[in-house]
Amino acid sequence: MTGSPDMQSTLPDTSPKGTTLNWATAEDAYHLINGLLTQVTAANDLVALMATLLGESHLRHVVETPQWAAYQTARRQMEQLQADLEKFSATLQRLAADRPDVAPPDEE
């Protein structure tokens, strides 16, 4: 793994080879995932607004489509991903707290 020694931490050995965490990569991953979730949340809000503007009679035709079912499934997965991201962030913060030479990840 690349990176300076102060950006890495050895985690407890959970595999035969051990695990090394690259803090810069972990923080980048957090920011990328958080950015995608923000965009998806905005798109979901827009879909909800558009559904409201369609009115009940037109909306009925939309919600009976496979596309709507796929949208609902993806929305539920996104909600779970948000919970997973919060757990990931908490784990990074906990690990960073154990390493005074590593700054905890920024939260947006």
- Each domain of the chain, given as residue ranges in start order, spans 25-97
Query: 92, 105 in Cβ contact below 8 A?
Result: yes
Each residue of 30-54: b (16+ CB within 10 Å) or e? beebbeeeeebeeeeeeeeeeeeee
And the tokens for 23? 């803090």
Query: 27, 9 in Cβ contact below 8 A?
Result: no
pTM of the entire structure?
Answer: 0.59
pLDDT of residue 32: 87
DSSP label at residue 6: G
Chunk the chain into consecutive blocks of 10 residues (it has 108) and report each block's average pLDDT, rounded to whole numbers: 42 50 81 87 91 89 92 90 85 76 57
Which residue is associated with the tokens 């596309």? Answer: 67
The 3-state DSSP class for residue 58 equals helix
The 3-state DSSP class for residue 51 equals helix
pLDDT of residue 43: 92
